């Protein structure tokens, strides 16, 4: 790889990734994925043309080369969704080179992203979400562990937190305040109101926890059985047990609780922009997926309840 890419291009790539971290707060996994995507594209160009690739070469990339790269990726099994992400990374890098050098990588920036079916979130019903929390809090295990699992699930559903955000809380947040300052993906901060039910659930866990969570402001709020940070897989396992006990589908995962939070807010008349802020989505288009979920559920209710629907197509 290093022989195929000029030193200047490798330096430019490192600088671009560093800027994504410094200015945009890009997560480590995002940076790793972008590095893989861009180096894969550049390596393809080098092999395709049989020459070393430098920054100036990006401005001379043709539409034919872009199509060849995308066909190559699909041929080796890359999904449309992954290819769309890779193309986005390549465009971002090419744009940074263009801004620095005054070049115009027209063919790269004009390349059309492959279409793919965006997966809609699969929320639980309001009743099922409550039952999951109740079941997780009553499963046969130590009382403090059951209370811990129920408290985490309550934060996911009651505050719309990601599992990583809930488990990232520290003793400093105990007892929970009325609002939390959450640092989410990409270091983006948001203010999240905390419902009384969530504060109560966390307080119940803190009272039963054998480890002094409130006395250690820097330590994790939620602890594992030996006192260390709680592994998210344990919450996933507890929810799986609750799902099986309640007869819920496999889509009833910890993340589905966050989806349920957003969908139920929207159903209750919540403003889409406000929900975007509560979830910490960088783009409104991400939050708009919930409008499709809500519409789908509305149509399901319509089909079941509307008299004409029940009467059949022949009426």
Confidence of residue 314 (pLDDT cuts 50, 70, 90): very low
Q: Does 49 score more than 50 pLDDT?
A: yes
Residue ranges of the chain assigned to CATH 1.10.150: 7-110
- Nearest-angstrom CA–CA distance, 120 and 126: 18
Within its chain, how far is the Cα of 3 from the centroid?
Answer: 36
Answer yes or no: 185 catalytic.
Answer: yes
Fold annotation for 126-302? hpI Integrase; Chain A (1.10.443)
91-105 pLDDT, tens per residue? 999 999 888 888 888
Helices 272-279 and 254-267, interaxial angle, to 10°? 160
Active site residue 255: yes
Between the alpha carbon of residue 309 and those of residues 180, 256, 294, 306, 314, the distances in Å are: 46, 30, 20, 5, 10
**What tokens does 98 get?**
């263009």
C-alpha span between 25 and 23 (Å, rounded): 6
> Which of these is catalytic: 148, 162, 223, 243?
162
The verdict on whether 35 is a catalytic residue reads: no
Percent of the chain clearing pLDDT 90 (strictly above): 26
Predicted pLDDT of residue 291? 53
pLDDT digits (tens, 9 = 90+) for 13-27: 999 988 887 766 667
Q: Which entry of 290, 297, 308, 310 is annotated as an active-site residue?
A: 290
- Nearest-angstrom CA–CA distance, 95 and 311: 58
Q: Which pLDDT belongs to residue 58?
A: 83
Domain 7-110 annotated CATH 3.40.50: no
Mean of pLDDT over the chain: 80
Per annotation, catalytic residue among 57, 243, 258, 259: 258
295 by Cβ neighbours in 10 Å (0-12 / 13-18 / 19+) ranks as exposed
Lowest mean pLDDT of 99-113, 183-197, 204-218, 276-290, name the range. Answer: 276-290
Residue intervals of the chain classified under CATH 1.10.443.10 are: 126-302
141 catalytic per annotation: no
Q: What is the DSSP letter of 72?
A: H
| Options 95, 185, 190, 297, the catalytic residue | 185
Average pLDDT of 134-139?
89
Whether residue 290 lies in the annotated active site: yes
* Mean pLDDT, residues 199-225: 90
Given 10, 141, 255, 297, which residue is catalytic?
A: 255
Contact 213, 171 (CB under 8 A): yes
Mean pLDDT of 269-285: 57
Active site residue 119: no
What integer pLDDT is reported at residue 178 of this predicted model?
87
């Amino acid at each position: 790889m290093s022989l195929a890419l000029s030193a200047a291009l490798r330096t430019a790539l490192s600088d671009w990734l560093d800027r994504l971290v410094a200015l945009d707060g890009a997560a480590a996994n995002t940076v790793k994925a972008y590095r893989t995507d861009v180096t894969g594209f550049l390596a393809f160009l080098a092999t395709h043309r049989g020459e070393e690739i430098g920054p100036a070469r990006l401005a001379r990339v043709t539409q034919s080369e872009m199509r060849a790269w995308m066909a190559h990726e699909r041929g080796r099994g890359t999904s449309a969704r992954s290819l769309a992400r890779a193309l986005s990374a390549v465009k971002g890098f090419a744009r940074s080179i263009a801004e620095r050098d005054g070049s115009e990588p027209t063919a790269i920036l004009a390349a059309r992203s492959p279409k793919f079916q965006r997966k809609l979130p699969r929320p639980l019903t309001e009743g099922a979400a409550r039952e999951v929390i109740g079941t997780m809090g009553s499963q046969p295990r130590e009382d403090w562990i059951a209370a811990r699992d129920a408290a985490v699930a309550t934060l996911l559903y009651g505050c719309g937190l990601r599992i990583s955000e809930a488990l990232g809380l520290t003793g400093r947040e105990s007892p929970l305040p009325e609002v939390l300052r959450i640092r989410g993906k990409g270091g983006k901060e948001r203010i999240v109101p905390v419902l009384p039910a969530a504060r109560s659930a966390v307080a119940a866990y803190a009272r039963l926890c054998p480890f002094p969570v409130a006395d250690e402001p820097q330590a994790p709020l939620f602890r594992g059985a030996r006192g260390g940070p709680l592994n998210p897989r344990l919450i996933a396992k507890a929810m799986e047990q609750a799902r099986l006990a309640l007869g819920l589908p496999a889509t009833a995962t910890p993340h589905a609780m966050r989806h349920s939070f957003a969908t139920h807010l929207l159903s209750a008349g919540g403003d889409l922009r406000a929900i975007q802020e509560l979830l910490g989505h960088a783009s409104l288009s991400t939050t708009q997926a919930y409008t499709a979920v809500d519409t789908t559920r509305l149509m399901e209710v319509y089909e079941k309840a509307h008299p004409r629907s029940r009467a059949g197509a022949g009426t």
